[in-house]
Structures are given as structure tokens and as C-alpha cells.
Chain A
Amino acid sequence: MSPKLRKFVEFCKDFSSNKVALVAFFIFLLILFVAIFAPLVSPTDPYDLNTVSIMNSRLPPFSEDFSGNYFFLGTDGAGRDMVSAIFYGLRVSLGVGVLSGIFALIIGSFFGISAAFFGGRYESIIMRIVDIQLSFPSILVALIILAAFGKGVEKTIIALILVQWAYYARTARSSALVEINKEYVDAARCLAFGNTRIMFKHILPNCMAPLIVVGTLQTAHAISLEATLSFLGLGLPITEPSLGLLIGNGFEYMYSGDFWISIFPGVALLITVASINLVGDHLRDMFNPRLH
């Protein structure tokens, strides 16, 4: 067995020691599968106007319409099958959350590692900006961007990137500061490698573990924040129905007792966010040297 593979097997064993995290991980994989293959696994296409009938609006769970379509979780105000709407909503929610997380990871680790590498005035300016930004609650940062520039897919993603990048920058800098003093960095410098190469080919891979931990927890946070913003009507437009929008749509039927339109998308959101959080929590414990 190659050393890399052995390390990976060891990591898997270590991860499986916590049964709750393992179950959460498999639930997350299932959700990811459903989100990616939503058009294939959904019973109907909820946004195809030919199949959606207003006659079926607000059917309770476990009901059937005249042409024999079965609605396991009922239908919403426009007669869409809730199961399908949730599957498509997961796709949008996860897509926006993961995309913004990846961008924030790239931007944050770039600034974090370069700050640690160059130090001096550059470092203090970057870290001061990070500190100032982290002193604002995430929802306020998102609110400022979306209130000032209006709603939309790109704007929501930009707002989520802005909310998250500072966490990545701080994590990347603190682990890069430790790495920089190690011998392999000196060795790379002696070989006269360029700064960019040392920073991103040598230091970055060794900072990945804490960045991944922050990444999982931040992605969960981003998904939940996007849902909140879309519910408020500030995030995604109605053409991109995320789980938050589905919950918001159901809110108007709440007072007439049609609970399923709001509740089930929320349950899907809760399971998604909780499973990511549980995995992230366990990863954090695994990488925390103080607990070993």
C-alpha cells in the first residue's frame, strides 16, 4: 500500500470512530446526490408549466389528483409537487452555498497566506480589514450588500463570499505562520523558487486541514444565510427557487393551516445544514491536537 493510500485509510478509520458524524456524512452524500441529479430523481418537473396544474394547488400530503399523480408531501400554492420542488430547491441552495464557499476559500487563503508570507505593513492592513469585517455580524454584511445593490443570483453569491472570506483568511494566515518557519520552506527558498510557487505549492497544501474544517462549517452557515435572505425577499429571485424561497412562499398559507408548504422545505434545509455541521464538528475535533 502506498503511504498516501495508507494515510487515507487511517483517516477514514479515524473519521468512522464517531458514528453520528459517519451517519451525517452519508446523509449529506445522499442530499448531494439528490441535488445533483434532481431532474432524474424528482417525480415531476415542478417548473414545467405543462405538467403543473393549478387545480392541484395546496393538496395535503399523501394525496392523489384525478389523473392518478401521487403527492407524497402534498403540493404548494401553484399545484407543484413538494417533493420535486424540494429536490430542485436543494440544488439551488447547495449550489449557491458551495460556489460561494469555494470562491471565499480561494480569496481568503490567498490573502491569508500572502499576509503571513510577506508580513509587515501589508499583513497588518489585511488583518485589520479582516478584524473589522469580523466585528460585523454576517447578516449585517449581507444586508448592506443586498440592500445597497439589490437582489439577484450574482449579488447573493458576492454577499456570501464577502461574509465568509475573512474567516478563511484568518485561518490560512495562522496556519501559514506556523508552516513558514519549517525547514521545507527554507529548503524551497534555497532552491530559489519563486514566492508564488512557495506560497501556493508548498505552504498552501500544508494549511488545507484547518481550511477544510472552516470550509465545512462556513458552507453550512452560508446555506442557512442564503435561505434567510431569500426568505426575506432579498436574496435569490423567484426564478431560482431555493429552499428559503419555498419556505417563504409557504408562509402566506400558514395562517390557513396548510403547514406542509413551509415545513417540509425547512426540514430539508435543517437536515442539510445539521449534517454538514456534524461532519465539520467531528473534523474539527480530529484535527485539534489538544484533544489527542
Chain B
Amino acid sequence: MTAFIFTRFAQSVLVLFIMSLLVFGGVNLVGDPVEMLINPEADQAEVERVIRELGLDRPVTEQYWYFLVNAFKGDLGDSFIFGEPALKLIIQRMPATLELALFSLFISLIIAIPLGIYAGYNPDSKASKVIMAGSILGFSMPTFWVGIIFIMIFAVQLGWLPSTGRGEIGTFMGINSSLFTLNGLSHVFLPALNLALFKISSVIRLTRAGTREIILQDYITFARSKGISEKRVVLIHVLKNILIPIVTVVGLEFGSLIAFSTVTETVFAWPGMGKLIIDSIYNLDRPVIVAYLMIIVTFFVFLNLIVDILYTFLDPRVRIKGDHQ
């Protein structure tokens, strides 16, 4: 068990190290940030001063070593564009991304679970077939394009909802979020629905499969034979039992919502981390690119490490196999 956790931890650190080499190496081979930063009329002395200031005159290996040492101190370098610490810029934008991802998770669950239960409960009805066909369509629709259509219909043509920015930010229990004001909610609705689409399709399929399995179980037959109303069977007995696998999978995939929010944030000009990384790539703002990628990779690596460790507690087979190795 301890050996298993130790191996996994060592692997996670190795993955992070390889990622840092890849990201830092790649970023430093591409483009010339000096060209983007300096006034084209600047003279040679000015150009050299900036290069020295950014540490770009040193060999790449030395730059990488400095990067590693500073990263351990929690310093991922200063943004070339904003002149502020890259880490600070990312942390500033993190709440916007998190609230978008959380709200879209909420939307996808309240839409998908009822539809999935319905489709699993009446698998042969017309409506179920429409729901399932819709979920294939949801898988196939490119998120960014649906976002554009949302903007066109709800913002440009109908003018019901705003299509850019985060709106007013309210404070509730010490947390600042646009989810706490009406204006903020109207801003978050379209991007969150857009981000939720993909998740809605997959949760519908998951719920449907779970429901179809559960309604065949003995305890459902038993509940019915006790004379419990069909409504109560579905709302209490079926719902409770399908929630366990759904919550596990959805929780695990929360990370993918954050990764995919780069696309939605760009379409809706949502001021989160995802828009920051895309803007930084355009501007060749190397420290921010490296910092963002390293933070998100670290997040994923440790999320998976925690899940792996949790599984060893829940499933003894994993534990035995790990010790065996």
C-alpha cells in the first residue's frame, strides 16, 4: 500500500518534470518576444537592455535552471506584457473560471439527470429516442460553434442576454462572484450553458444506462410490490442509486470542464484563466504560458494521484496488485 502510493507519487513528480522540460523548452524555441515588446524604432542599446532585463541573453539551460529554482519558491516569473507575477495574474482570473465551470456543472446535472432517467425508464418511447439522438448531436456539435450560435440568437437577434464579460460581481459570505447578482447571472448563463452541452450529452447517456440497470433490480420490484407509488420509486429508489456513479464520474471530469473552458471563455470574452492563456499565446507572453500550463498540469496530476489513492481504499484489488509490483 505504502509502496503503491510512493510509486504513484514518484511517477507524478516525473510527469511534472517532463512537462516542465517540454513546456519550457518548447516555449523558448518559438518566436521572439522582444520583437513584440519593443517599440520598432528603439535603438540597438535599448533592445539589448530589454533582452538582459528579461534574462534572455543567458543560455536556455541556465534559464531553465533559474525557472526550476524559482518555481519551487512559488515564483513563476513576471509577465512580459503586464509586468506582474504570472502566478498572480492566473490566480486573479481563477475565480471567474471556477464559477463558470461550477455553474455549467450545475446546469448539466439539472438538465441531464431527469432526461436520462426518463430515457432509461421508457427506453422504447419516441421521446427517449429523440433524447438519445439529441445526445449524439450534442457530442458532435463543436462547442465554439454552438457558442457563436447562442450569441447570434440570444444576444444579437433577440437581445435577451449579454454575450461578453462577467457582469456585476456580488459578495456573499466573503466570496466574490457574479453568481450573486442578477446582472452577473445573466452574463454567466450563456457561456455556462455552452460549456455544459458536452457534459449534458455524456450525463444523459450515463444516467440512462444506470437507470436501465437499476429498474431490473430486486429492490425496485420489492418497492413496487409494497405498493409504493411509481413516482416515489423513481424519485427515491432509482435516483438515489444512480447518483453514486454519476457523482463519481462528474467529479472526476470537473477538470475537463476547466480545460474546455478555454474555448468558451474565448468565444464569450469571459475574463478567466482560459482567455488569459489564449491571449498570452498570441502575445508570446512566455512566463504566463509556462505558468498556466504548469499549474493546470500540476492540478491534473495531483487530482489523479488523489483518485488513485482513494481507489486503493475503496477497491482492495488495486491495493493487492500494487503491493505485488
Interface-facing stretch out of A103-111, A134-142, A167-175? A134-142
Question: Which one of A137, A149, A228 contacts B142 once the chains associate, using CB atoms below 8 Å?
Answer: A228
Count of chain A residues with a beta carbon within 8 Å of a chain B beta carbon: 42
Q: Is the CB of A144 within 8 A of B293?
A: yes
A29 to chain B minimum Cβ distance, whole angstroms, is 18
Q: Considering only CB atoms and an 8 Å cut-off, how many residues of chain B contact the other chain?
A: 45
B199, chain A: closest CB distance, angstroms = 12
**Complexed CA–CA distance, A124 and B300 (Å):** 21
B266 in the interface (beta carbon within 8 A)? yes
Chain A residue nearest to B7 (CB atoms) is A128
Per the bound structure, the CA–CA distance linking A273 and B145 in Å amounts to 13
A153 within 8 A of B: no
Q: With A and B bound together, what is the CA distance between A227 and B145 in angstroms?
A: 9
Mask of B3-38 contacts with A, CB within 8 angstroms, 1/0: 000000001000100010011011101110000000
Most interface-central of B29, B145, B263 (chain A CB within 10 A) = B145
Q: Is there contact, CB below 8 Å, between B156 and A255?
A: yes
Contact of A127 with B by CB under 8 A: no
CB of B140 within 8 A of CB of A277, answer yes
Contacts of B278 in A (CB 8 A): 232-234
Cβ 8 A contact of A281, one of B136, B144, B157: B136
Binary contact readout B293-306 vs A (1 if CB under 8 angstroms, 0 otherwise): 10011001000100
Query: For the complex, is A259 an interface residue (Cβ under 8 Å from B)?
Result: yes
Instruction: Name the contact of A270 in the complex, choosing from B15, B25, B145, B157 (C-beta under 8 A).
Output: B145
B156 CB → nearest A CB, Å: 6
Checking B15, B151, B277 against A254 with a beta-carbon cut-off of 8 angstroms, the contacting residue is B151
Interface-located stretch among B168-176, B187-195, B240-248, B253-261: B253-261
Q: In the complex the two chains form, what is the Cα distance from A132 to B293 in whole Å?
A: 16
B260 touches A137 (CB 8 A): yes
Contact of B29 with A149 in the complex, beta carbons under 8 Å: yes
Across-interface contacts of A149 in B (CB, < 8 A): 26, 29-30
Contacts of A135 in B (CB 8 A): 300, 304
| Chain A residues positioned under 8 Å from B71 (CB to CB) | none
Query: Is B282's beta carbon under 8 Å from chain A?
Result: yes
Quote the shortest CB–CB distance from B203 to chain A (angstroms).
Answer: 16
Q: Tell me, rounded to whole Å, the shortest Cβ–Cβ distance linking A235 to chain B.
A: 12
Among A143, A251, A270, chain B packs the most CB atoms within 10 A around the CB of A143
| Contact of B145 with A147 in the complex, beta carbons under 8 Å | no
Confirm or deny: B313 has a beta carbon within 8 angstroms of a beta carbon on chain A. no
**Would you call B262 an interface residue if the criterion is a C-beta within 8 Å of the partner chain's C-beta atoms?**
yes
Name the B residues within 8 Å of A136 (CB-CB): 259, 297, 300
Residues of B within 8 A of A247 (CB): 142, 144-145, 148
The listed residue (B11, B31, B141, B289) touching A128 by CB distance below 8 A is B11
Q: Does B211 contact A (CB under 8 A)?
A: no
Interface residues of B in 231-275 (CB under 8 A from A): 255-256, 259-260, 262-263, 266-267
Docked Cα-Cα span, A149 to B281, in Å, equals 10
Structural contact, A277 and B139, CB atoms closer than 8 A = yes
Q: In the complex, which of the residues B23, B152, B157, B263 contacts A148, with contact meaning CB atoms closer than 8 Å?
A: B23
Chain A positions within 8 Å of B282 at CB level: 233
Do residues A150 and B30 form an inter-chain contact, with CB atoms below 8 A? yes
B263 & A232 in contact (Cβ 8 Å cutoff): yes
In the assembled complex, the CB of B276 is this many whole angstroms from the nearest CB of chain A, namely: 12
- Name the distance in Å between A220's Cβ and chain B's nearest Cβ: 7
Answer whether residue B149 sits at the interface, using C-beta atoms and an 8 A cutoff.
Answer: yes
**A139 and B262 contacting across the interface, CB-CB below 8 Å:** yes
Cβ contact within 8 Å between B140 and A274:
yes
A292 to chain B, nearest CB (A): 18
Q: Give the chain A neighbours of B144 by CB distance below 8 A.
A: 227-228, 231-232, 247
Contact flags (1/0) for A203-241 with B, using CB distance below 8 Å?
A: 000000000000000001000100110011110000000
- A144-B297, A147-B289 known, 16 other contacts, Cβ within 8 Å: A135-B300, A136-B297, A137-B256, A140-B300, A146-B281, A147-B293, A148-B30, A220-B140, A231-B144, A233-B278, A247-B144, A247-B148, A262-B145, A266-B145, A270-B142, A270-B145
Interface residues of B (CB under 8 A from A): 11, 15, 19, 22-23, 25-27, 29-31, 136-137, 139-145, 148-149, 151-152, 156-157, 255-256, 259-260, 262-263, 266-267, 277-278, 281-282, 289, 293, 296-297, 300, 304, 325
